Amino acid sequence: MNVKETIARLLKPAEGQASFNRRKLLATFSPIIGLIALFILASSLSDSFLTTTNLTNVLRQVSVLGFASLGMTIVILTGNIDLSIIGNVSMSTTLVAVLLQQEWPVGPMIVVVMLAGSLVGLINGMILSYFQIESFVVTMGMQVVCFGMSLFIAGGRTVIVDNLAPFMLDLASVRVGMVPVMFLILLGFYLVFFIFTKKTRMGRYIYALGGNEEVCYISGVNVTLVRITAYVLSGMMAAVAGIFTFSRSLCGDPAAGQALGMYVVAAVVIGGTKMSGGRGSVLFSIIGILIIGIINNTLNLVGFQYYAQQIIQGVIIILAVVLSSKRRR
Amino acid sequence: MKVPLLQVNHITKQFPGVLALDDVSLDLHEGEVLCIAGENGAGKTTLIKILSGVHMLDGGEIILDGQKLHIKTPFSALELGFSVVYQEHKLINNLSVAENVFFGRFPMKAKAFVDYRKLNDDTKALLDRLGMDIKPTQLVSTLSSSQSQMVEIAKALSVGARIMILDEPSAAITDSELTRLFAIIKSLKAQGQSFIYISHRLNELSEIGDRVAVLKDGKLVGIKDIKDITIDRIVSMMVGRDLGKVFRPKDRPVGSEVLRVENLTNDTVRDCSFYIRAGEIVGFSGLIGSGRSELAESIFGYRRKKAGTIHINGQPVPIRSPRNAIDRKMGFVTEDRKTTGVILNKSVGENITFAILDKLTRFGFVDVRQEKQLIDKYIDQLKIKTPSDRQETQFLSGGNQQKVILAKWLLTQSSLLICDEPTKGIDVGTKQEFYNILDDLARQGIAIMLISSELPEVIGLSNRIYVMKEGTIIKELQQGEMTEETVAEYSMKEAGH
């Protein structure tokens, strides 16, 4: 904190405009600085951190979180939240497993799973728009529904699939150099969503909805359509996360999404996107997932007990959020 | 001469970009009513907020009873003896009168239970002192606005206020209720209570005040004994120039009818009918709560209609949402900039083009180059003061934010512009600019519905004025009949007269 204040003082601005731009710059870059610091810390704490195997592994681990966080970012930008993502990931994973077990070809399977995920988002968006209620409560309920659905789809136990298509077998393991292909796909999605949110009209409306819904409505924006779009995209990304969850474990675990837990929200907020909406960027969330990934990885390497890991992770998340709110004041 | 109860010496208050109070000194004696007059933005509100602990002063001192005060919080202001009765009441609606009067200071039994008998008896005693015939157990939500005001006064008395500050007490009550309020002020005054009285209605001042302090642009213009000064003199002190020059002559060419509203009824207004022609500015006057904003909201599709029809250019049109209204070439500059006007954390440019993005979009992507041209054009045309079009709108002054909203509705090529209190909280210079802009727009053939609580403004700009009271239009005033007196008279007329 002190370092940050000193930097702020050194950059001491004269006018409101300059002060604002520098503050904004600082807000954008402090997660990146945090990530670099964390990277250096992790390398010094464990010798095995800076190995190709480990780093590749970290990238693979954060990918699933990355797909889920991408959808979450879009929804958070509109000033809402989507807790159903976690359940949706479980549901999608089991759906992938069951469809593959019934020997569906990979292409149609992916389409159906993504449609199912999007449908969850559509229902969320419609309920929220029609009844005008808190997204927290509605999507929490939807999360439970999705967990129930995954148990139903999986028949109450983990689905084992025989005779997997080579595509599914390789999806998680293929690499380009040391970078797993699934991480490259993730970056591709982030790039597309970045352009979508920054350059298209719908993207503008998504930010604007988080900025002030009343102004959107008075200015003739179809607020319902914008909200539903955000939730459908979120649901679709949860399905993508589900497909990659399956590719990593190669089985349909109905509890798979629970491992993501609140990391999905934490990654977005640590990245610097504001929970109140209208401020932030999908690109920030890449930083967020990398920070979370490195923390988890380091705690493992250093050999903390599971309970200690949990406590430390929790504290770090709270700390990151506290810092991120301070720097915007 | 007695030592004053309160001395305010050389206080200043700086807000970003505005010196809200500039070396202002006042004094107030025991049992005196000191009136404060000034235009919006003159610094009256800032002064009250300093005395009531909402804002800290930047320079100067406040002395009460010879003691220098440090008012740090609203709570400490209350303890020191400053009570404010605000224009919009700050009572808790779902609690009883007695609970409100003694809120936070309930008499207790055994340190754990509220002593309701004592609470209600004490409240009854206070209400009797004010000559109020309401039950201490009545819910505040069932009170009229004048009764709520009395409850606030009772509350101030119960705290032992040394100085009672009344902020626009006459804004939302009828003439006869005002007479009763004056009687109460006079009787409390005889008991030694001191008041600071703020009102836009200058003729009230001579009736109730002892002295008047006039503020303009944060500076004290002067303090005069009421009996030595005329209302005209107060006005010229407030404005600093002749009122006549503020407004241009109304020789605008008037065209055909743009808007006709017939028997519009919603949850607040009923049976409102009126029309506006191209090139006309039509004023809507009335007290706060008379239904002017609600009427405008229904015309724009922002508030549900129960009955009535809206005609645009002679055609009846269904308007169910702002989208429909915008498609019919309407624009709506709402009363509350921050909640319904601009998106504060978005840039000036994005706010300006926000309502026409659909026309700037190619294959889903915003045409940034074309957008930038339009933004620059309007920043230039309306003289919006901003370091760049990428500045977040929250960093602009109120007047410039208002121009951003206006630019948004000009870009949609509105032929009907609804302006709800367009100059609220804007400094005098920018106000003048707005008056000229509205006049220019009308001259270009735009029909303007102007809702304003500032009588000189409505009278100075409008071709005609509709006066509203309790949800209905009770009078249409033509050019020759528009004076502050007639407008005020109709807005407050008792039902049945």
Contact B354 A219 (CB under 8 A): yes
> Residue written as tokens 């997660």?
A31
Residue A289 lies in a domain: no
Q: Look-up: residue for tokens 């209720």?
A: B177
The answer to whether the Cβ–Cβ distance between A17 and B387 falls below 8 Å is yes
Contacting residues of B for A27, CB less than 8 Å apart:
none
pLDDT at B419: 96
Contact (CB<8Å) A201/B365 = yes
CB contact under 8 A, A201 and B364: yes
8 A C-beta contact, residue B319 and residue B299:
yes
Amino acid at B7: Q
What residues of B are in contact with residue A222 (Cβ under 8 Å)? 323
Determine the Cα–Cα distance for residues A292 and A89; give it in Å rounded to an integer.
19
Mean pLDDT per 10-residue interval, chain B, length 497 residues: 85 82 92 87 85 89 89 87 82 90 87 90 90 88 85 88 88 78 90 89 85 90 89 79 69 94 94 96 89 95 95 95 96 92 94 95 94 95 90 87 95 95 78 90 96 89 94 92 85 59
Q: Which of B168, B253, B178, B218 is nearest to B11 (CA)?
A: B218
B245-492 domain in CATH 3.40.50.300?
yes
Angle between helix A135-154 and A84-101 (nearest 10): 20
CA B206 to chain CA centroid, Å, is: 22
Pairing between β-strand B416-420 and β-strand B219-225 as defined by DSSP bridges: unpaired
Radius of gyration in angstroms for the set of CA atoms belonging to chain A, rounded to a whole number: 20
Q: How far is the alpha carbon of B392 from chain A, nearest alpha carbon, in Å?
A: 9
How would you list the strands of the sheet with B33-37, edge to edge? B82-85, B163-167, B194-198, B33-37, B211-216, B219-225
For testing contact with chain A, the best of B344, B351, B352, B357 (most A CBs within 10 A): B357
The neighbouring-strand residues paired with B113 are: B109
pLDDT at A153: 94
Alpha carbons B452 and B292: distance in angstroms, whole number:
9
Interface of B with A (CB under 8 A): 16, 300, 302, 321-323, 325-327, 332, 334, 339-346, 350, 354-355, 357-358, 360-361, 364-366, 387-388, 391-392, 395, 408
DSSP assignment of A190-216, as one string? HHHHHHHHHHBHHHHHHHHHHH-HHHH
Q: Is residue A83 part of a domain?
A: yes
Q: Which residues of chain A have pLDDT under 70?
A: 1-24, 26-27, 324-329
pLDDT of residue A233: 98
The closest alpha carbon to B165, from B90, B235, B60, B70, belongs to B90
Number of domains chain A is built from: 1
* A20 within domain boundaries: no
CA distance A103 to A272: 43
Q: How close does chain A come to B326, measured CA to CA in Å?
A: 7
Rounded to whole angstroms, the Cα distance separating A31 from A270 reads 7
Question: CB of B215 within 8 A of CB of B19?
Answer: no
Do residue B366 and residue A201 have CB atoms under 8 angstroms apart?
A: yes
The DSSP symbol for A133 reads -
Mutation choice for B interface testing from A129, A193, A215, A328 by most B CBs within 10 A: A215
Q: Measuring CA to CA, which residue among B339, B360, B348 is closest to residue A20?
A: B348
Question: ipTM of this predicted complex?
Answer: 0.85
What does the angle CA B7 – CA B12 – CA B15 come to, to the nearest 5 degrees? Answer: 140
Domain ranges of chain B: 6-242, 245-492
CATH class of the structural domain B6-242: alpha beta
A215 and B CB contact within 8 Å: yes
Locate the chain A residue with the closest alpha carbon to B17: A16
The answer as to whether A131 is a domain residue is yes
Nearest CA distance, A231 vs chain B (angstrom): 19
Give the DSSP letter of residue B356.
Answer: G
Closest CA to B170 of B492, B495, B493: B492
Question: What DSSP letter does each residue of A242-300 carry, written as one string?
Answer: HHHHHHHHSEE-TTGGGGTTTHHHHHHHHHT--TTSS---HHHHHHHHHHHHHHHHHHH
- Residue A321 covered by a domain: no
Which domain does A74 fall in, by range?
A: 48-260
